[in-house]
Amino acid sequence: MSPNSEKSINKTDNNSNNKKNLKNTRDKRKRVNRIKYGIIITVTVSILVALISVICLIVAVVKLNSRLDKIEEGSSTKTASNDVSVVNANAQNNVITPDGTDKTNVYLTFDDGPSDNTDSILDTLSRYNVKATFFLVAKEDQASKDKIKRIANEGHSVGVHSYSHKYSDIYSSLDAFKNDVSSMVNYLEPIIGYKPKLYRFPGGSSNKVTNVDIQDCISYINSQGMKYYDWNVSSGDAVSNAYTADELVENVMKDVLKYKTSVVLLHDANAKGTTAEALPRLIETLQAANVNILPITDSTPLVQHVEAK
């Protein structure tokens, strides 16, 4: 074999090897890229799954907190307001018989104020010359205190509802209950100028969330010279914001004329604008039914879901 032929063969082999090495290098790069992209995709998917899981967890926690808030602020009230028949000894005597000539006394009561709707409610009550009863919660801002002062100055009855309005705190123990009541009395007295004697249990005396024997709570209320009032007529605004103003009026009117003493549950809260909207028509409808609309006083017959033993 000539030297030229040998060189030609070596050159061909080198070219072949170079091509093979180049192909191997390219294949290796492709494998590395595939692995790299696979890792990137896996990490990205993992991050997205984790992010979605965190979002779902946050949503679940928010929904749970919302439900717990409803339990604390409304579910106990819902339990009682769906069953507004009183269970004390005077309940049967309070029912108006078909042939009776008794005139219904109606007591409009507003829980949870003061709120953004308080002034509107008071303006309506003033316009119709009607006095009502407000079971209040503590709010430390001056605007709220001014609204409470206006309630008292305009001749409405003022009662204690709760200082904190957190059911889990109020009913955690008898001492906690006593502290909530006394704190609210001490809060109200310098604002309204007298010691309040009316009380409404958060959720009603028939609430289902208390960890304390309600009879012990009742004994304490009575020992303070206070009277507690539940309700036997509900507007429905405690359990739903979906009712229209007309529906709230209808909810009241379907029951209010059944009793000699009708204590109506309404709410004065930021989310209860429909209640304030319904109030003028409610008063007009009650006045057309020839009832007395009065504030609760010491002489008002007791309307209680649970009576003292």
Write out the DSSP string of 194-239.
S---EE--TT-TT-S--SS-HHHHHHHHHHTT-EE---SEE-STTT
97/93 Cα distance (integer angstroms): 9
∠ Cα 280 286 287 (to 5°): 90
pLDDT of 69 = 43
Sequence length of the chain is: 309
Give the list of residues 6+ apart from residue 151 with CB closer than 8 angstroms, or none.
113, 114, 118, 122, 134, 136, 158, 192
pLDDT of 102 = 77
Peptide bond into 114 cis (omega under 30): yes
Q: What is the DSSP letter of 71?
A: I
Which stretches of the chain drop beneath a pLDDT of 50?
A: 61-85, 89
Do residues 141 and 186 lie in contact, with contact meaning Cβ atoms separated by under 8 Å? Answer: no
Phi, psi of 266 (to 5 degrees): -130, 170
Long-range contacts of 115-120 (CB under 8 A, 24+ apart): 115/268, 115/269, 115/270, 115/272, 116/270, 116/273, 117/268, 117/269, 117/270, 117/272, 117/273, 117/275, 117/276, 118/147, 118/150, 118/151, 118/268, 119/147, 119/150, 120/276
pLDDT of 8 = 57
∠ Cα 85 230 281 (to 5°): 85
Residue carrying structure tokens 């123990």:
173
7/24 Cα distance (integer angstroms): 25
* The one-letter amino acid at 61: V
Helix (H, G, I), strand (E, B) or coil at 301: coil
Write the pLDDT tens digit of every residue in 183-213. Answer: 999 999 999 999 999 999 999 999 999 999 9
150/147 Cα distance (integer angstroms): 5
pLDDT of 249 = 98
Using CB atoms within 10 A of its CB, is residue 89 exposed (0-12), middle (13-18) or buried (19+)?
A: exposed
Would you name the residues annotated as active-site residues? 111, 267
pLDDT of 54 = 67
Write the pLDDT tens digit of every residue in 225-251. Answer: 999 999 999 999 988 778 999 999 999
What pTM was estimated for this model as a whole?
0.74
Give the list of residues 6+ apart from residue 2 with CB closer than 8 angstroms, or none.
none
Do residues 283 and 124 lie in contact, with contact meaning Cβ atoms separated by under 8 Å? Answer: yes
259, β-bridge pairs: 95
